Structure 1
Amino acid sequence: MLAFSVLASLAIGSKSVPFAEVIRAFTAYDGSDAHAIVRDLRVPRTEVGLLVGAALGAAGALMQGATRNALAEPGILGINAGASFAVVLAISVLNVGSTPAYTGFALAGAAIVAIAVFALGATTRKGPAGVTLALAGSVMAALLIALTSAVLVFDARTLDEFRFWIVGSIGGRDGSVALTVLPVIAAGLVIAFAAGHSLNTLALGDEVARSLGQHVGRTRAAVSLGFVLLAGGAVAAAGPVAFVGLAVPHVARILAGPDYRWIVPYSVLLGAVLLLAADVVGRVLVRPAEMGVGIVTVLVGAPFFVWLVRRPKLVAL
C-alpha cells in the first residue's frame, strides 16, 4: 500500500504521468517536462507527505496511549493552536512570508504550548494524568484560537497569507521543508518506537503501572516529548491536518491488536499511506486545481469520527 501510494503521488496530478514514465524519470532522465515534474515537483511533495503522515500517525498513537483517550489527536493538547498562533505572530510582527520560515515558528509554538500544558497538568494533586492533560490542552487551545482570531480580525495582510497555511496542504513544499523537519520527526519516531512497552503498562491504569514499578510521571513526560516533536514537526511542515492522528491508530489497533509495540509501527506506515492517498484524491477531485489535503482528511475523517463516538468501548483505552 505504501509503495503504491508513493507511485500514485509521483504520477497523478493536474498533468498525469504514466507509471512507466515515472520509473524512467529516475532510471533514464532526459530533461523532458514529464521527468522534470516528477523529480523537481512531486518528489519533494511526496517526501513531505511521507514524513507528515508518518509523524501524525505515530503522534496519534502516542497521544491516545498517554492520555488513555481514544479521541486524542494533535489538536487535543493545543499543538495545532500553538503552531497556528506562532505562525500568525511571525507573519504579523516579523513579516515572515516563506514556508521554511513558517516551519520553524510553527514548531516552536507547538513545543512551547505542549510544555505549558504538561506543566499545568503537573500542578494537580495526581500529576499530569491523561484526563488532566486533555482538559488543560482544550483550555489552552481555546485561548490560543481566540488570540489568533483577534490578530487576524485586525490584520488583513496576515489573514491573506495565513489562510493558505491553515487549510493544511503539502502542495508547493520543496526539499528544504522536508530537511527542516526531518531531524525533529526522526527524534520523535525514535521515542515512539521505544515507548511501546511503557504504553502497554500505562494502558493498565496509573495505579497498576505504579505497582509494576513504572514511574508514571516520567513515562508520560517522555511520551509527551515524543508526540510534541512528531505533531509539531508535522504541523510545521503541512499546517494543521486533521483526523490522521485520530483515525490511523484505531485502524492499526484493528490490524495489530492492543500491543503498542505493533500499534506504533503500523500507525507510522498507515499514516503515510493515508496522507499520500488523501493528497492524490485532492489533486483529482477539482482538477486542474487542487484541494488541500487537510480538507480531504476532514471529509473522510468526519464520518469516521461519528462511527467512533458511537462505540463507547473505544472511548477509554
Structure 2
Amino acid sequence: MKFSVATAAAAFVFALGGVAMPAAGLTEKSVSLISKNACSRDCMTTIVDQVLASMLLHNPEILPLAPTYYATENSHPTALGMMTLWRTVTSAGSPTLLAIDTINGSAYFSLDVTEGSETKKSVLWARIKVVDRQITQLELYVNRSRGDHGFSFSAVELPRNYERWMSPPADRQKATRAVLESLSAATFNPNDTLSVAVAEECQFTEEGWSVIDPGPDGDGSTTPLGCSWRHDRPADADARLNLVIDEQYGIVVTGAIIPGKIYPYGEISAFIPNDMKEAQAQQDKWLAKKQASGNMSLLAPTAATGETLQVLQFYNGKLQGQQVMLYLSGPDMQSAWS
C-alpha cells in the first residue's frame, strides 16, 4: 500500500484508535493513549507505521516520543524537527522488510520512499527502540544514489528482492535466540570461530539490489552474487551486537563502523573496506594499469568510513539472506551510537 500525505493523516488516526481529530490535537491525544506496559509485535508495527505517517505529514511532533530521546539522520545527531526526511518524503509504502524484537523493544525496517519525483526513489532504512510504548531511539538513513554508500543500489528492485525475507517457509526450523545472538557476535569478528553454513539459494543484496558485479572493465559476472561468510570480513571490535533479534523471521541486525577507501571502478566508484586487503590490492593494480594508459579520467582513491547495519536471516541451520546497508562519511569518523 502506498501512502500519500492525505492517507497518512488517516493512517495515523487509525493507529491511535480510530479517533478522528484535527492534526493539531494529535500530540495531546497520542500521549494520553500511551500505556506503561510492554510493546507487542503489533504495537511495534503500529509505531513503525506512525513514524512513516508522520514523515508524510511533515510533523514529527505527533509521534509518541519519550521525554528524552536519541536520534540521528545519516549519522548526524539532530532533533526530528530539523531532519531532512520530515521535509522531503512525499510517498512511502509499508516497510518492505520489518524485523521486530519484542524483548529488546526494537525494530529495523527498510523500504523505498519518494522525495518529490516518483521516478527518483530513495532507500530508507532505520532502527527504532521503544520503552513503555515511547520512542527512545531513532537511527535513520536515506540513500539517494550509489554515491551515498559506494555499493550496488536499486530503490526500484528493493520491494521485490525483500519479499522472500518476509515470507519464509512455514515448515522451517527456526533458530533459537541464543543461536541468533551468536551470529550477531561473529558478524564483524573474523576471529570468531562460529561456523556458518550458507544456503545455496541465500540472497545477497546491497541497498535493495541483488548484486551483479560486472567488474571495472565490464567483463565480469552477469550472475547475482550469493551470500558468503568471508574469512576477511570487515572487523569492528566495538560492533553493536543484537540491535534487533527477530526470532519469528530469524533476522539479526548488527551495527559496525568500517574504515575503507573509495576506489574508481570503471567510470563510477566503489567502497572497499580496509580489511578486504586482497580486493584493495586488485583495485590498486587495475588503477595503475589504467593510469598508465592515460585513456580515462579516474577518481583518486580516497579514505572513507562506512556506518553499516548488516542484516542476516538464518533458519534451517543455514544463512538464508544477507543485506549490507551502509552510509559513507569521511575518514576516521565515529558513530554517535557507539
How does the TM-score come out when normalised to structure 2?
Answer: 0.26
**Structure (1 or 2) with the greater helix fraction:** 1
**Structure (1 or 2) with the greater strand fraction:** 2
Q: Quick one: higher RCO (CA 8 Å, sep 6+), 1 or 2?
A: 1
